[in-house]
Structure formats: structure tokens, C-alpha cells
């Protein structure tokens, strides 16, 4: 059933989902669309400092008409007109367009409440490269799982008098694919963009969101260059700096403490030097006791690690590597050779703080997680004890015939959170994001609480909420700090 659905979906570029009519259509990609002569709007980097962009909403022969004006010195006034259907002629309840200047550009900020919102969902399905009956690439499978979760979240909003029109844009890192995506999204005129995309695609999506005055949600990518320059970028994964602050806070409060005195040690590869230095810098800034010893090496050996171990103390190893499975495996293997196969008394003398990306590693023996008392920090913790999580899992199994995986949970939660925000606040989400703690009032959200901060004066918002999780009896458990 899963492979049959994928073979259908992967031949499509976008779909429309109308909750009011409770219908869904999936339209095949038409090559003739490439001939669309619609001009692409200028990105913030291309707009001069004295450029002005504004919009007016007019009524014309019973139809709602939105006219977008762009005035560049030395050029004729440009107008782009979008007609709205009669049935949504009351679409725009309020239409306030403000002009903000930052980073030598004019940023469009929209403030509208609408009866229909258009959502651009950007995925890497690889539909144009997919060969029927062949093995599904990992990126395609994860994008499909994200879509399956998102689809269930959209269906939950049918009880409200609200319409969400969703289009899926299938995009790869190839320049031609990105150019097509850009043109198609500009033509679609979305009110929100959700893009679990690569950095290259995310750069273009950020330009589009700033140009259109709409928010861009990134569920997985914490792209620093985008987060610090795009005012309407919402980053769900905390940055390296926020991760270092969280880890240093745990060290400061001795969150892993038992009856033994704690001895903190950082293990990292050469590629981890930046985050290791960030952790040490943050520890110094908040007054942690003493300097944390670190071992930076491409190869870990039990002998080298043993030199940092202190007897009769609780040795806490911080391993901030989230990409090199071979390195992480070697670290856990050597730690097991030092502390493994021990009695309960000895087991109290070691803990490991790792990364949430480890749960996607295939070589890590589950015994390592249990025997070494592994902790990790998680921005998406889907607690299987919560009834809303159980309801989602059951619905997913009924709909798709299998149990959900990580990307399905994130897809569902992302849409549940941000569709609710659109209904309550309209397209301008600055106010709820600036409030700091963002808590969903809906019973649908699987992770209802996030905490957002501005990256800088001209940048977007990032979630800094990280939960401490420990593997206990092979199951992740939330640890209250």
C-alpha cells in the first residue's frame, strides 16, 4: 500500500487540498508551465534601499482584486494584479502592508486575516528522477513521510470554517529544478512556506518569503546564513550556539549528578572543534567550575580516554558529533570497554550526553545506549505516553497501514502548530513569535510548546526549547531538569 501510494505521489509536483470541500486533487506536472512568462519578483538582495513595495485591495465587477506595486527609482511603476474568486470575495478581512527597512533592503510585511490560506509545502520527493518499482531514496521516503503526517494535520482543521489550499513543490538541488520551483511558488502566491529543504534550496525560499512578505518555516535546517539575514525565517532546530548554551547550563547545574562528584569530559573529532570551543566558551561565560578537559582526535582509543577518567567520580562524556556515525560508534565502543560489563555500583560512574541525530544511526548497538546511560537533547520529543501522540499513531496506521516514523510526526506537528497560528493571527506571525513562549491551545499538537528568540536585529526566529532525554530500558524518557 505504501509503495503504491508513493508511485502515484512521486509522479506529481503539487497537490491541492481544500478542507472546506474535504477534497484533494493531485495534478500532474505539465511541461508547458515552463513557458510561463510571469516575471519573478525581486529578492531583497536585488531591491535597492529606496525601493518601495506596497499592495492595495480593490473590488472590481464583484471580484476581489489585489494589486502589488513596485517603485524603483529611474524605472516605470510596476503593477502585478491577482484576481480573487467571487466565492472568496471577502477573503481579505484586513489588508495592511507595511514597509520595513533592514540590511539595506525593503522587506514586505503583510498583516492579513483570510478565509483561505495558501500553503507551499516544499519537499524533496525526487519525482522526476524516480524509476517505478525501484528502491526509494532515503530523502524521498522521508519527504513522503513528512507529507503523510502533514496531510493528517490538515484534515484535522476541517471542523473549523477555514480553507487551506496546499501545494506540494518537489525540488532538488539542481539549478533548473530550483529555478522552476521559484517561478511556480511566486505564481502560487503562498501565505506560508514550509520547507524541510537543503541549504541551497532554503536560500532561495528565504528570498521568496522576504519578497512576498510571508513566513518560511524550516522544520529541520538551522541554516545560519538564512536565519541571521531573513526576517521572516522560523527555524525549529536550535543553532549550534543555542545548543552550546543548553549544554553549558546542564554542566552548571550538574544535571547528571548522582551521589558521586561529576567529572565532565568532551570527546570530538576535528570537525567538532567549533562546537567544542562554543561549549567551553559558554561554560566560562556562566561561571562553570574549572575548565572542561577535551580530547579532539580522528580516532578514539580506550587508553587515551582512560587518561581523562577519574576514579570514584561520575564521569560525564559530552560527544557533540551528529554526522560521523563511525566516529560516534568508536567512542561508544571504547567507553563500553572501559565501563561496560560492570556491576550496578560501577554503572553509576558513567553517563554520555550525545546528539538526537544518533537515533538515525544504524551501527550503534542498543546495548550502548542502555549500559552507558546515554542522554541527548531533543527539540521534537514525541512522548508515547501522551494520548494525542497515541491518537496520531493509530490514525496513521489506519490511513497508511504502517507505524509512523520520525518525519511523519514532525510533518503532522509542524502543520498543526502553524495552521493554528494562521487562523488566530493571520499571515503576520511576528506578534506570537515575539511573545517568546509559544504554546498551542489545540489538542492536536504532539509537541505543543516552543520557545522562540530573534537571531539578531535583522534575522528571523529560532526555537531554543530543548528537552533532556535519557534512554532507559531501551526507551527514551523525558528527564525533568
For residue range 141-168, list pLDDT tens digits in order: 889 999 999 999 999 888 887 889 999 9
pLDDT at 25 over 90: no
**Cell of residue 218, nine digits:** 524550516
| Selected residue with higher pLDDT from 339 and 250 | 250
Q: Are residues 298 and 358 in the same domain?
A: yes
Task: Quote the pLDDT of residue 368.
Answer: 85
Q: Are residues 326 and 259 in the same domain?
A: yes
Closest by CA position to 13, among listed 183, 163, 240, 135: 183
Residue 475 backbone phi and psi in degrees, to 5: -125, 140
| Selected residue with higher pLDDT from 353 and 173 | 353
pLDDT above 90 as % of the chain: 36
Q: Are residues 390 and 282 in the same domain?
A: no
Within-domain flag for 401: yes
Among 114, 130, 160, residue at a domain's last position: 114
Task: Quote the pLDDT of residue 224.
Answer: 78
Confidence of residue 73 (pLDDT cuts 50, 70, 90): low
Within-domain flag for 480: no
| Selected residue with higher pLDDT from 40 and 478 | 478
Q: Are residues 26 and 61 in the same domain?
A: no
The count of structural domains within the chain is 3
Q: What is the pLDDT of residues 79-89, one digit of tens each?
A: 665 444 433 33
Q: What residues pair up with 315 in beta bridges, in sequence order?
A: 263, 350
Q: Are residues 302 and 250 in the same domain?
A: yes
Confidence of residue 443 (pLDDT cuts 50, 70, 90): low
**Distance from C-alpha of 293 to C-alpha of 268, rounded to nearest angstrom:** 11
Closest by CA position to 276, among listed 265, 285, 286: 265
Confidence of residue 436 (pLDDT cuts 50, 70, 90): confident
Confidence of residue 133 (pLDDT cuts 50, 70, 90): low
Within-domain flag for 319: yes
Rounded (10°) angle between helices 273-285 and 240-253: 50
Q: Are residues 125 and 219 in the same domain?
A: yes
Average pLDDT over residues 32-53: 40
Task: Quote the pLDDT of residue 79.
Answer: 60
Q: Are residues 285 and 367 in the same domain?
A: yes
Burial classification of residue 159, based on how many CB atoms lie within 10 Å of its CB (0-12 exposed, 13-18 middle, 19 or more buried): exposed
Task: Quote the pLDDT of residue 69.
Answer: 53
Q: Are residues 9 and 122 in the same domain?
A: yes
Which range among 111-115, 263-267, 334-338 has the greatest average pLDDT? 263-267
How many Cα atoms sit within 13 Å of 298 on the Cβ side?
A: 0
Average pLDDT over residues 312-329: 92
Within-domain flag for 474: no
pLDDT at 232 over 70: yes
Q: Are residues 256 and 207 in the same domain?
A: no
Within-domain flag for 145: yes
Q: Are residues 154 and 218 in the same domain?
A: yes
**160 secondary structure, DSSP code:** S
> In which domain, by residue range, is 104 found?
52-114
pLDDT at 20 over 60: no
Task: Quote the pLDDT of residue 19.
Answer: 35
Within-domain flag for 444: yes
Q: Enter the pTM of the model.
A: 0.75
Helices of type H across 123-254 = 138-155, 175-188, 199-212, 224-227, 240-253
Q: Are residues 87 and 14 in the same domain?
A: no
Q: Are residues 402 and 362 in the same domain?
A: no
Amino acid at each position: 500500500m505504501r509503495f503504491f501510494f508513493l508511485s502515484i505521489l512521486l509522479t506529481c509536483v503539487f497537490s491541492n487540498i481544500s478542507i472546506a470541500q474535504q477534497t484533494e486533487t493531485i495534478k500532474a506536472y505539465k511541461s508547458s508551465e515552463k513557458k510561463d512568462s510571469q516575471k519573478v519578483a525581486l529578492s531583497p538582495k536585488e531591491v535597492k534601499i529606496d525601493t518601495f513595495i506596497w499592495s492595495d485591495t480593490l473590488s472590481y465587477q464583484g471580484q476581489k482584486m489585489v494589486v502589488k506595486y513596485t517603485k524603483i527609482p529611474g524605472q516605470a511603476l510596476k503593477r502585478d494584479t491577482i484576481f480573487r474568486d467571487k466565492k472568496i470575495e471577502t477573503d481579505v478581512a484586513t489588508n495592511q502592508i507595511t514597509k520595513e527597512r533592514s540590511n539595506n533592503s525593503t522587506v514586505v510585511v503583510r498583516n492579513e486575516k483570510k478565509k483561505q490560506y495558501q500553503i507551499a509545502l516544499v519537499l524533496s520527493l525526487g519525482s522526476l528522477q524516480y524509476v517505478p518499482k525501484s528502491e526509494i531514496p532515503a530523502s524521498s521516503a522521508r519527504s513522503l513521510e513528512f507529507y503523510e503526517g502533514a496531510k493528517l494535520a490538515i484534515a484535522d482543521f476541517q471542523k473549523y470554517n477555514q480553507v487551506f489550499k496546499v501545494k506540494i513543490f518537489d525540488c532538488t538541488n539542481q539549478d533548473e529544478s530550483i529555478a522552476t520551483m521559484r517561478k511556480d511558488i511566486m505564481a502560487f502566491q503562498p501565505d506560508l512556506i514550509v520547507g524541510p529543504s537543503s541549504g541551497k534550496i532554503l536560500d532561495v525560499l528565504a528570498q521568496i518569503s522576504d519578497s512576498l512578505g510571508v513566513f518560511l518555516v524550516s522544520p529541520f535546517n538551522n541554516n545560519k546564513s538564512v536565519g541571521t539575514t531573513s526576517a521572516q525565517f522560523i527555524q525549529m532546530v536550535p543553532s549550534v550556539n543555542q545548543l552550546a548554551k543548553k549544554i553549558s547550563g546542564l554542566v552548571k547545574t550538574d544535571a547528571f549528578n548522582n551521589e558521586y562528584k561529576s567529572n565532565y569530559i568532551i570527546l570530538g573529532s576535528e570537525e567538532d572543534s567549533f562546537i567544542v570551543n562554543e561549549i567551553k566558551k559558554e561554560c566560562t561565560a556562566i561561571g562553570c567550575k574549572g575548565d572542561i578537559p577535551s580530547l579532539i582526535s580522528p580516532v578514539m582509543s580506550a587508553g587515551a580516554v582512560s587518561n581523562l577518567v577519574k576514579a570514584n567520580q561520575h564521569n560525564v562524556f559530552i560527544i557533540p558529533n551528529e554526522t560521523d556515525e563511525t566516529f560516534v560508534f568508536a567512542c561508544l565502543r571504547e567507553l563500553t570497554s572501559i565501563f561496560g560489563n560492570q556491576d550496578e555500583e560501577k554503572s553509576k560512574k558513567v553517563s554520555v550526553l550525545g546528539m538526537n541525530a544518533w537515533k538515525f544511526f544504524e551501527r550503534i548497538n542498543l546495548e550502548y545506549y542502555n549500559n552507558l546511560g546515554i542522554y541527548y537533547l531533543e527539540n521534537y520529543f514525541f512522548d508515547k505516553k501522551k494520548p494525542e501522540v497515541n491518537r496520531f499513531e493509530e490514525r496513521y496506521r489506519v490511513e497508511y497501514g504502517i507505524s509512523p516514523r520520525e518525519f511523519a510526526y514532525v510533518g503532522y506537528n509542524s502543520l498543526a502548530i502553524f495552521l493554528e497560528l494562521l487562523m488566530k493571527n493571520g499571515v503576520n506571525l511576528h506578534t506570537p513569535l515575539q511573545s517568546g513562549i509559544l504554546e498551542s491551545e489545540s489538542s492536536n499538537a504532539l509537541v505543543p510548546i516552543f520557545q522562540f528568540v530573534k537571531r539578531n536585529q535583522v534575522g528571523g526566529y529560532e526555537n531554543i526549547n530543548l528537552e533532556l532525554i535519557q534512554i532507559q530500558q531501551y526507551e527514551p524518557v523525558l528527564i525533568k531538569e
